[in-house]
Structure 1
Amino acid sequence: MVKGPLLSLAGAARRYGIGDKSVKALLPTDITVEEGEFICVAGPSGSGKTTLLNLMGLLDLPTEGRVFIMGRDAGALSKGDRATLRRAVVGFVFQSLNLLPVLTARENVEYSLMVRKVGADERNDRAKKALASV
């Protein structure tokens, strides 16, 4: 159980650029996500959805503001620590298929659990439940 929000963005913004030219990909944004909460991000093309998800998923860091996950400031974590936290806490469902073609559907579902060293019986049970729901 997490004390406080699972994820929060405090004025998190992101700019991309080279030299004098820069693009505001995400304006300062405040979001709080509690444990067990389900959120959906929607908007027109170019509105910053992917940038927002990259910040929320610890794939990128804000150029302004802060991102906290489980009370930890993502900007204060090393790249390796962010990767460890991402593996343990964050899940993405991408728009395009990113399945490993050499694995079965069940094995693809189990893959992230295997990386996190979840036991075979629990992996199998969780994969069966997940596949039964779709």
Structure 2
Amino acid sequence: MESLSTNISRTIQTKLVLPPDTNHLGTIFGGKVLSYIDEIAAIAAMKHSNKVVVTASIDKVNFLSSARVGDILTLEGFVIATGRTSMDVYVKVECEHFKTREKSLTTTSFLTMVAIDEHGKPAPVPAVIPETENERELYQQARKRRSQLMKG
């Protein structure tokens, strides 16, 4: 099976923070952000594997700052490492405060997605080729997390 560039899976989505998405403080619900993260991770994994996927785990989520009503969220997700049937997906969420155009990193996350065949069984996926220094660093982090999970 041919190895694929991270650019094959790279997916970018833009979302507007609306009043129903926020809590009593006017900031976006963490669960709403998680929903967006899960969706973009699935799309990225589907693009990489060319298969239906399921979420096996949300391995790590860092909420770094919040977003408010009217802010614009940009999510970027891509496959950073693979196993036989699983894919480690990195997702970052940036917030743009539309009045000031100031941007900030709001969330980073690592998820494991599994490719599924037509019989509902795990299916093999292509390896991934990290191309940039950042992608190589994320690839190494994913390998380290995977080995720690196997030990523990």
Calculate the TM-score normalised by the size of structure 2: 0.26
- TM-score, normalisation: structure 1: 0.28
Structure with greater proportional helix content: 1
